Amino acid sequence: MLDQFLNTVKGGLVSQLAGKTEVEEGKLDGVANVVTDTFKTGLMDSASKGKLNDIMSLLGKGGGSSPLAGNLINSTVSNLMSKLGLPKGVADKIGGIAIPFIIDKFSDFTSDKGKSNEEGVKDIFGDLLKGSAKDKILGGLGKKFGF
């Protein structure tokens, strides 16, 4: 489910970045891949450590200014520099545009089709985690949110 979301958001992300950064349009797909991979890795790391509140803090108003959002931006900047060789100023600009854009779309996606944010996040956690860690965290989510 998370991969589906990230594939859906890539086109919109490329459009958001086009003309707003010094990256040639032909290279924006590569930028979008690094950004979405970094977002996924950040969520997976938080989920595997049981930091559910961090992920929930991305949803709704102010999600783009949460501590996890800051970490995602920093990781994105680092990955854009190391994987694509982008200058820090360009990577900073991309991170500041891309991560808030993805977070906004993530909040919409988790509450899509009449689901509450909590149900949507539970679906995504099911995608991110495997085995006993999945059962433990999803069970904890169920107790926390009453589902």
Per-residue exposure over 21-34, b if at least 16 CB sit within 10 Å of its own CB, e if not: bebeeeebeebbeb
**Verdict on whether the full-model pTM lies above 0.85:** no
Distances (CA, A) of 134 to 115, 127, 128, 137, 147: 20, 9, 8, 5, 15
The whole-number pLDDT of residue 47 equals 83
pLDDT one-digit tens code per residue, 44-65 = 898 888 888 888 888 877 888 8
Tell me the residue length of the chain: 147
pLDDT one-digit tens code per residue, 112-147 = 655 555 666 666 666 566 554 555 555 555 444 444
Tell me which residue of 116, 119, 140 sits closest to 49, measured CA to CA: 140
Residue partners of 121: CB distance under 8 A and separation at least 6: 52, 55, 56, 59, 110, 141
Cα separation, 124 vs 67, whole angstroms:
20
pLDDT one-digit tens code per residue, 7-49 = 999 999 999 999 999 999 999 999 999 999 999 999 989 888 8
